[in-house]
Amino acid sequence: MTETPAPRAPLAIETDLELTIDDTRAEVSSTGDRLFINFPSLGAANTALRGLPPGRIGDFTELLEETDLTVEVQSRRRTVMAIGADATAGPLSQRLGFDPAQVRVAGIAGAVGQEFAAGVRWVRQLLR
């Protein structure tokens, strides 16, 4: 008896590139069914996300779901938002106006911690 191959996403992405939005660079990488957009700070990620045209995030989400892809928006390598096939919006996403994207509170907290640590390192270097 022949085994049926495991279902695969209709689309797979392999990339390693850089994206610039409002003079802020973001690294873009992938694992096939996930695309990671990593911003250097929460402020940069927020600026990019707030710059999306109103109502278009739903269109983008539909495309990602049809192709079985997920985009993770990161700040300092912490996922702060997920959009697409493996992302389910909750009440926080709706309240912040990012529905149908999934806002990840733990990722935001981790990114805030990373930013605070970077600020402490910067002050220490100034005082040397």
DSSP 6: P
Q: So what's the pLDDT on residue 2?
A: 60
Please report whether residue 84 resides in a domain: yes
Please report whether residue 13 resides in a domain: yes
103-121 tens-digit pLDDT = 999 999 999 999 999 999 9
Q: So what's the pLDDT on residue 114?
A: 93
- pTM of the entire predicted model: 0.81
Long-range CB contacts for residues 110-114, cutoff 8 Å, separation at least 24: 110/76, 110/78, 111/42, 111/45, 111/74, 111/75, 111/76, 111/78, 111/80, 112/42, 114/75, 114/76, 114/77, 114/78
Which residues form the domain of 57?
Answer: 9-89
Please report whether residue 73 resides in a domain: yes
Please report whether residue 31 resides in a domain: yes
Q: How confident is the model at residue 6 (pLDDT cuts 50, 70, 90)?
A: low
Please report whether residue 102 resides in a domain: no
42-64 tens-digit pLDDT = 999 888 877 777 777 778 888 89
Side chain identity, residue 43:
G
Please report whether residue 127 resides in a domain: no
Please report whether residue 121 resides in a domain: no
8-21 tens-digit pLDDT = 557 777 777 888 87
Please report whether residue 20 resides in a domain: yes
Q: How many domains does the chain have?
A: 1
Give the Cα separation of 34 and 56 in Å (integer): 20
